[in-house]
């Protein structure tokens, strides 16, 4: 059974710092991996989608990498801002249509 783990569960950094969020999965037979952002009391917003054949995706200050063979993905946030404070979730798509989520990393960026 696929398991998705995100470490750390919570992270606090000062504004301007570069940071890395980690996601690991136990079964490398995935179609893609997706990173989401969730603000308190809100739904999930997709940040980046990496297909299994890709190594990384970039959007603005965000860069996500995927190493399928080792079952790992990282989300790199450059020059963090207070507005980046949120919970970040990763999820993998397996055979069929199921999306399996990690429990998230809650990020707090202080000014």
The answer to whether residue 23 forms part of the interface with other proteins (CB under 8 A) is no
Task: Residue 88: name the closest of 3, 2, 29, 4 by CA.
Answer: 4
Q: For other proteins, which stretch binds (CB under 8 A), given 11-19, 21-29, 77-85, 88-96?
A: 88-96
Alpha carbon distance 63, 58 (integer Å): 4
The answer to whether residue 76 forms part of the interface with other proteins (CB under 8 A) is no
Of residues 11, 13, 44, 62, which one binds other proteins by CB under 8 A? 44
- Site size for other proteins (CB under 8 A): 23
Give the phi and the psi of residue 26 in degrees, each rounded to 5.
Answer: -90, -25
């Amino acid at each position: 059974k696929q398991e998705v783990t995100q470490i750390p569960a919570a992270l606090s950094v000062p504004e301007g710092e570069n940071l890395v969020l980690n996601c690991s999965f136990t079964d490398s037979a995935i179609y893609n991996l997706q990173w989401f952002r969730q603000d308190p009391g809100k739904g999930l917003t997709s940040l980046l989608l990496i297909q299994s054949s890709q190594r990384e995706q970039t959007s603005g200050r965000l860069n996500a990498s995927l190493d399928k063979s080792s079952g790992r993905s990282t989300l790199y946030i450059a020059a963090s801002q207070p507005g980046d404070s949120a919970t970040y979730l990763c999820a993998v798509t397996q055979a069929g249509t199921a999306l399996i989520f990690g429990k998230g990393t809650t990020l707090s960026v202080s000014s």
